Structure 1
Amino acid sequence: MSEPLLRIDDLVVEYPVTGGVFRALDSISLSVDKGTCLAVVGESGCGKSTLAKSIVRLVRPTSGRICIDDVDIATMSERKLKPYRSRIQMVFQDPYGSLDPHLSAVDIVAEPLRLRGVRSKSERETRAAALIDRVGLPSTALHRKPAEFSGGQRQRIGIARALASEPELLVCDEATSALDVSVQAQVLDLLREIRHDTGLTYVFISHNLGVVREISDTIVVMQSGRIVESGSTAEVLARPTQPYTAALRAAALDPTTMVGVKPRNVVSRLGATGTATPTSRGAA
């Protein structure tokens, strides 16, 4: 039996707003076993990205626990958190905005190595070049800048940069949503291959149930900052118990196309009875 690499207990995140606070995450609890992939799905604004940012500690939780191998990092100081930064890495949604436009691909991927104490520039560049090759980019890409790459190629560079830290947990926050269908499939194949080869653990944030079905073992469904359903991906998507999950599933196209109606557009059709108004399969 595998052991949880990540365990979250009663996580709450609140943001100050005029006249009070907004609770973005409300008592979230979940666990992710080593070597597995957990998908987090839900409509826009449900708290998915806040959860992702909390896991990598870009957001400091209001209360609750975020444990990596039973060590709570939720309220750690930056000094104590530093060793955990390399163990938990993130691939961001926007492959255009997440890379420094002034650096070459090899320098972008080498930067985490410098931060980890690899002093030799030649060693950093050699290791960065190997990672760029690992994600399927040619050697001619090494000294090109982000503007010279396609969106899918930039996302591959982002993945290589994350791998440079040799993480145990990779958080993918809508990492394929900005890509077209064929490129989504290529990036998913790459993530599956990396997981197979390295045993890397994933938390995969997405609104696209076709993508989720392709990559994840387990799933949690979020609504208004809370988890409303969870279980094995195959079971939850085949036999959802909550009307909200059924509405999300109704929004999805055939998984082989990996595109679909934004969940918020379908969830907004839910009536007071909690049943979804029938939608055309494949509507935009």
Structure 2
Amino acid sequence: MSDTILEVDDLVVDYGSGTSAHRAVDHVSFSVRRGSTFAIVGESGCGKSTIAKAVMRLLQPTSGRIVLDGTDLATLSEARLRPLRHRFQMVFQDPYGSLDPHLSARDIVAEPLRLKGVRSAQDRATEAARLIDRVGLPSTALDRRPHEFSGGQRQRIGIARALASSPDLLICDEATSALDVSVQAQVLELLREIQVDTGITYVVISHNLGVVQQISESVLVMKQGAVVEQGATAQVLTSPAEDYTRRLRRAALDPATMTGVKPRHVVRSLSLGATA
């Protein structure tokens, strides 16, 4: 088994065609080590969420390769892709809009189990209850619907739903951006605990350098669809090679752009070399 679980090679994604085409992702390449957390960071509109959707095959890449454990997902038909979908899942930014408002938490989490082939309704319900407990929600949550939960609780249900497929790769697309700082920290800690327990690999999409600093080992910095720089998170965020990354860091430390209270160790680590 290779140490690399995901390899994205020369990925291009265009929206539209002909003279009206917009290039959202421009020849992006990176690889993700199995069991690690890889972050993609940049301003809104830089293409990071488009990369996430391309990896998930929620959209068709224009060109390039997306190789998951030796299989190029970019070239597969939907029929050939379907049996592999349980191996890569996504937690979305909006913890309310991504959940079916008509289903209970139990049914939301059990649905991927049905698609995975678990035929027994009792087995699906039992596993859903285990996963609800795993993400820190009480058993009383099982029969409640999304509108009865807080934003952080809804995001925990989204994580439980993603875990129901037993994925090797979980993409978190701005999964904490809609949460307040204290709840955000709780969700990040939950993700860390799950990774320790299961060895799952994360790709985290974020514009928040504090989140990236806390959770990832490696980071890719993007601007206008292209890669600016990439490398170990500690190196890139404390001693960036490119002016764009330095400007992102300064913006993250600007009190006018801060929301909530950032953990002291995050502010301190981002502040290192701030005048570089």
TM-score, reference length from structure 1: 0.89
Alignment match, 1:252: 252
Show structure 1 runs of 4+ deviating over 4 A: 257-260
Match in the other structure for 2:89 = 89
Paired with 1:74 and 1:62, the residues of 2 have a C-alpha distance of 9
Is the 1:92–1:172 contact (alpha carbons within 8 Å) kept by the matching residues of 2?
yes
Q: Partner letter of residue 77 of structure 2?
A: S
Match of 1:155 in 2: 155
Fraction of identical pairs, as percent: 66
Greater helix share, structure number: 2
CA distance in 2, matches of 1:6, 1:258: 30
Give how far 1:71 is off.
1.0
- Alignment-derived partner of residue 268 in structure 1: none
Q: Which residue of 1 aligns with 2:231?
A: 231
* Deviation string, structure 1 residues 106-144 (Cα, Å, up to 9, x no partner): 000000000011111011000000000000000000000
The aligned amino acid for 1:128 is A
Task: Return the letter of the residue paired with 1:29.
Answer: S
Question: Does the CA-based 8 Å contact 2:213-2:266 persist in structure 1?
Answer: no
Contact in 2 for aligned 1:87/1:167 (Cα 8 Å): yes
Q: Give the C-alpha shift of residue 168 in structure 1.
A: 0.2
Q: Cα distance, 1:20 vs. partner?
A: 2.4
Residues 1:49 and 2:49 aligned together: yes
Deviations 1:34-87 (A, max 9, x none): 000000000000001000001110011000000011210102101100122100
How many residues in Structure 1 have an aligned counterpart in Structure 2? 262
Query: Residue in 1 aligned with 2:107?
Result: 107
- Once the two structures are superposed, residues 207-238 of structure 1 have per-residue CA deviations (whole angstroms, 9 ceiling, x without a partner) of 00001100000000000101110000000001
One-letter amino acid matched to 1:203: V
Residue number in structure 2 paired with 1:28:
28
C-alpha distance in 2 between matches for 1:188 and 1:83 = 29
For structure 1, the 5+ residue unaligned runs are 261-275, 279-284
Deviation at residue 15 of structure 1 after TM alignment: 0.6
Matched to 1:245, the amino acid is T
Distance in 1 separating the partners of 2:20 and 2:142:
49
SS across alignment from 1:172: strand
Q: How far 1:19 sits from its partner (Å)?
A: 3.6
For structure 2, list consecutive stretches of 5 or more residues without a partner in the other structure.
Answer: 254-260, 268-273
Q: Distance in 2 between matches of 1:53 and 1:258?
A: 32
| Secondary structure of the corresponding residue to residue 86 of structure 1 | helix
